[in-house]
Amino acid sequence: MGRGVEWAVHCCLNLVWIGPEEAVTVTRLAAFYDLPVAYLNKQIQALVRGGIASSVPGRRGGFRLARPPERISLLDIVTAIEGPEPAFRCAEIRQQGPFGDERESVTGHCLVDQAMRRAELAWRRELAAQTLAGLTEAVERDAPGVPERARRWFSSHT
């Protein structure tokens, strides 16, 4: 899995703390985590394409969350960054080879693929259960001062 997922999630957390009124530039987000600016921009553009964030062009532009954090799940972020296609893609090798015709009826779906899809569905379900609001809550419970300090850092380094 690409590391852009980690970047996107952490950036989304900060976007939640800052609030949807103010747009945050990629430059500041990258400086906050010491990440390559242009590449982080590319990842957040993927979030925009996925409908998670919205971009504001122009002089005092930047990014903000397009939806309230209660309606943004980790699955949404992962899907926006990594793409919608599943990790395991069945190539239907059971139909290849000299024996392919007589094998498990071509009409039915590949059972191996079904098992893999079942597992990946469980993974996706678990990710969908975790929402951004829940995650920020957990962080506030675990380290109470962090959100306020992060907010101040972003507002100070204008």
Partner DNA sequence: GGAGAACTACTCGGATAACCAGTGTCCGAGTTGTAAGGG
Partner DNA sequence: CCCTTACAACTCGGACACTGGTTATCCGAGTAGTTCTCC
Min dist CB 144 to DNA, Å, is 29
Q: Degrees (nearest 5) of the Cα angle 12, 18, 24? A: 75
CA distance 60 to 71: 27
Tokens representing 135 are 């995650």
d(CA 157, CA 31): 10
- Min dist. Cβ of residue 27 to a second copy (A): 13
Cα–Cα dist 48/51, whole Å: 5
* Residue 149 is a binding residue for a second copy (CB under 8 A): yes
Question: Which of 88, 100 has the CB closer to DNA?
Answer: 88
Distance CA 158, CA 156 (A): 6
Q: Is 5 in the site for a second copy (CB under 8 A)?
A: yes
Footprint on residues 61-120 left by a second copy (CB under 8 A): 74, 87-91, 93-94, 96-100, 102-105, 108, 111-112, 115-116, 118-120
Q: Residue 2, interface with DNA (CB under 7 A)?
A: yes
- 51 touching DNA, by CB under 7 A: no
Binding segment toward DNA, per CB under 7 A, in 13-21, 24-32, 115-123, 136-144 = 24-32
- The secondary structure element, H or E, covering residue 62 is strand 62-65
Interface residues toward a second copy, by CB under 8 A: 1, 3, 5-7, 9-10, 13, 31-35, 74, 87-91, 93-94, 96-100, 102-105, 108, 111-112, 115-116, 118-120, 122-127, 130, 135, 138-139, 142-143, 145-146, 149-150, 153
